[in-house]
Each structure stands twice: as C-alpha cells, then as structure tokens.
C-alpha cells in the first residue's frame, strides 16, 4: 500500500479545498455568531432553531441546490463554476457555516456575563464589545473552526455532485474512496481511508486538548 504521487495529490486537493472552505466560513460565521449572541432582537430563538436544523442538513441537498444554480441552464451557469474546486469550496463553506456560527453563539452565551457589563460600563460600542468577547473566547472559537474543518474534509455528497471527481483537479479523499471501492481497487481506498482516520485522530486530539484548556 504505497503512498505514491496519486495519493498525495488527492490528499493535497482534499485538504486545500477544506482549509479554504473553513477559512471562508470562519470569516463569516464567527463574527455573525458573536454579533448575534450580543444583540437582542425578535426572532433570535427562531434563528438558533434554524441553525440547529441546518447543522443536520444532508450534504446532497446542498449539492442539489448548488448544482441547479451552477449548471448550464441555472442562473449562475455563465460563471462556469460547475465541476470546479470553487464550487466545492462554496458547498463546503455553506455546509459548515451554521456549525461554526452556532458553536460560536453558544460559546459567547456561556461566557462570563460580567465581561459584557464591564465593556458597556466603559462605553464600548457593539463592535468593540464583539472584538473583546471574541478575544476572550478565542480558544472556544478555534474549537468551532476545527469542528467545521473536520465536517468539511469528510464530506462526499456535494463534492461528488459539484466537483465531478475529476482526477488531478476535484478528486478528494472521500470521492476517491467511493470511486476506487466501486472499481474494486481496495488498496488505494484503504490508503486514503487511513489518512482520513489519521486526520480525524489529530483533530480529536486537538479538540480534546483545547477543551482541557477551556476547563
């Protein structure tokens, strides 16, 4: 079971796409989660319920919706995103956005309420409050980002539908495992499966270490 150039290429593609998706999702979800937690408005409870629902959304549903948008006859077909890494990054970003935002929201809600009271008493505006709270819960936010990355790198449904499993371009570890298993090439599928398990182990170890730091 040799880790040849093909295997490393698949691993690199999978990791780079998931890292990009986690980065984009974090840029949007973390500030949104902090701001939502610190702001009182009607429908806040409904928003949290929606986020909880979206966290369990099947990836093939996201793939189907984006396929309709990106296909030649779709409203965004002229952009030529279908069967590209960009389409896969968009799908994974949408998939993990509610996970990161919800975890951030819960984290901020569980933070020491005296911090907000102190910031308000010092005259901090909403964005200054968000920044200081985010700074205080940065380790918990990192947990949210790692959780989102782990969800993204293990995704297969949307990646297959939007990426097309093109060798050397959009073939990720999960789509390659599905393909090679269907072809009876269990050696390559097993090698990629071991890499996925190793990544999962590293992520779980990092999350456990961060949780110990938080407690």
Model confidence pLDDT, tens digit, residues 111-132: 877 887 888 888 888 788 888 8
- Per-residue pLDDT of 140-151, as tens digits, reads 899 999 999 999
pLDDT number for residue 86: 96
Cα dihedral: 205, 210, 212, 213 (round 10): 150
pLDDT number for residue 3: 61
Distances (CA, A) of 29 to 18, 22, 42, 91: 16, 10, 20, 15
pLDDT number for residue 144: 93
What domains can you pick out in the chain, each with its CATH number? 5-214 (1.10.3720.10)
pLDDT number for residue 214: 73
Q: Is the pLDDT of residue 80 over 90?
A: yes
Using CA atoms, how far apart are residues 9 and 131, in angstroms rounded to an integer? 39
- Per-residue pLDDT of 3-50, as tens digits, reads 678 889 999 999 999 999 999 999 999 999 999 988 888 888 899 899
Q: Which of 95, 90, 93 is nearest to 79 (CA)?
A: 90
pLDDT number for residue 1: 45
Q: Is the pLDDT of residue 203 over 60?
A: yes
Global confidence as pTM = 0.91
Using CA atoms, how far apart are residues 199 and 150, in angstroms rounded to an integer? 8
The number of beta carbons lying within 10 Å of the beta carbon of residue 114 is 8
pLDDT number for residue 17: 97
What mean pLDDT, rounded, does the chain reach? 90
179: number of CA atoms within 13 Å, CB side?
18
pLDDT number for residue 127: 82
> Band of the pLDDT at 99, cuts 50, 70, 90?
very high
> Containing H/E element for 78?
none
pLDDT number for residue 46: 92
């Amino acid at each position: 079971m040799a880790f040849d150039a093909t295997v490393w290429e698949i691993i690199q593609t999978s990791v780079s796409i998931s890292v990009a998706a986690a980065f984009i999702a974090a840029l949007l979800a973390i500030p949104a989660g902090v701001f939502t937690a610190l702001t009182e408005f009607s429908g806040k409870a409904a928003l949290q319920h929606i986020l909880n629902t979206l966290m369990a959304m099947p990836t093939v549903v996201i793939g189907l919706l984006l396929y309709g948008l990106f296909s030649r006859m779709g409203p965004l077909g002229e952009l030529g995103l279908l069967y590209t890494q960009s389409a896969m990054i968009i799908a994974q970003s949408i998939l993990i956005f509610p996970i990161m935002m919800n975890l951030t929201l819960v984290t901020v809600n569980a933070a020491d309420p005296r911090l907000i009271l102190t910031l308000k008493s010092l005259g901090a505006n909403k964005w200054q409050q968000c920044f200081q709270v985010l700074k205080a819960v940065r380790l918990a936010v990192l947990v949210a980002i790692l959780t989102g990355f782990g969800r993204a790198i293990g995704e297969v449904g949307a990646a297959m539908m939007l990426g097309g499993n093109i060798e050397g371009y959009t073939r990720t570890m999960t789509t390659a495992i599905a393909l090679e298993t269907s072809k009876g090439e269990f050696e390559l599928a097993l090698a990629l499966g071991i890499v996925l398990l190793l990544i999962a182990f590293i992520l779980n170890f990092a999350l456990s270490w961060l949780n110990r730091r938080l407690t």
